[in-house]
Structure 1
Amino acid sequence: MKIVNLQDRRDLVPAIAAAHVQAFGTLLPDWTVAQAVAELQAQQRDAIPCSWLAMDAGDWSGSVSLLHDDHEQIRGWSPWLASLYVKPEARGCGVGAALVEHAIAQAAVFGVPELYLYCEAPRVAWYRTLGWRVHAQLQLGPLAITVMAVETGHR
């Protein structure tokens, strides 16, 4: 597995956008694939917002993003690790953990001292194994979420 910047594989943007809308669309019911494509195309290489892909045998197996804002109802913290997605056939193989570690390291390179994410209760324990801690618990639309935080090592 190799992790590459999305800017190096812009040809994959439509497929990634479709996967993101399918996976995360319940939080943003009016979000369309066209909007997701536009958001991914507007990302940068060496600054937030940006995304990376896990590549294996020439195809992408997962993605992760760093965003300034991840949801309009939780603007109090920034930046966010967002859109961690691993294709079903690649789950359980370390792809997600590798993408999270890569995003944390890149956040440190960008000068970010602390990074946030939000998830539902079943994912909290997994993120804790990667060094994240519970920061807050909130209601986000229909979902009860946990905001988690991690120090990137940047001082």
Structure 2
Amino acid sequence: MLITSSNQSMDIVDLAQVPQAIETLARWHYDEWQQLYPEESLADFIADLRASTAAIPVPSTFVARENDVLIGSISLLERDMEIDEPWTPWLANLFVHPDYRQRGVGKQLIKHLTQFCRANAVKQLYLFTPESRSYYETLGWTLVRRQAYKGQMVDIMVRAISAEAP
């Protein structure tokens, strides 16, 4: 997928096409979310990303690049929380580098993942967020419940993947 605007172009590609991005993404993800995964090391984050480069739909990771510069990521995981619910799959690792935020990159990554889910017959998608509930609600996500998780209150959300929705 290639998105162009003025002098810049952004593309979104499967992480398997740019495995050299794994360590950078793992560092970004570790720095951003390590408090939610205190038992995991940077090496675990690297291993999880490597696992998402296999030729299967779940897990998968996609990266956004602008003029070949890595600017963000999004993943589709079987599970993203240790809870006693059978819910699957999960949107995870939505991350946009701070220098590229507020430019629609996150929305484009979510749109790309939603299209990928639709193409792979995924009927609904879950996520959890400690602080971005209103953002996801504007994109069609619905709150399932709010709960304590790893020392924080998080919102668990769901979105149906329909044939019409972007």
* TM > 0.5 fold call: yes
CA 1:47–1:76: 2 relative to 1, 3 Å: same
Q: In the alignment, what sits opposite 1:23?
A: 32
Paired residue for 1:101, among 99, 111, 118?
Answer: 111
CA RMSD of aligned residues (A): 1.5
- Mapped to 2, the partners of 1:17 and 1:74 lie a distance apart of 27
Matched to 1:68, the amino acid is E
Alignment of 1:1-155 (within 5 A): 1-43=10-52, 44-73=54-83, 75-120=85-130, 122-153=131-162
Matched to 2:140, the amino acid is G
Return 66-75 or 1-10, whichever deviates more. Answer: 66-75
CA 1:75–1:60: 2 relative to 1, 3 Å: farther
Q: In the alignment, what sits opposite 2:3?
A: none
The TM-score with structure 1 as length reference comes to: 0.94
How many corresponding residue pairs? 154
Partner-residue secondary structure (3-state), 2:35: coil
CA 1:103–1:28: 2 relative to 1, 3 Å: same
Instruction: State whether residues 73 and 140 of structure 1, in contact with CA within 8 Å, keep that contact through their aligned partners in structure 2.
Output: no
How far 1:76 moved relative to its partner?
Answer: 3.0
CA 1:74–1:94: 2 relative to 1, 3 Å: farther
Partner-residue secondary structure (3-state), 1:48: coil
Unaligned runs of 5+ in 1: none
How far 1:153 moved relative to its partner?
Answer: 1.1
The TM-score with structure 2 as length reference comes to: 0.88
Unaligned runs of 5+ in 2: 1-9
- Mapped to 2, the partners of 1:79 and 1:117 lie a distance apart of 9
**1:34-76: CA deviation from partner (whole Å, max 9, x where unpaired):** 1111111112244110000011011111000000011223543
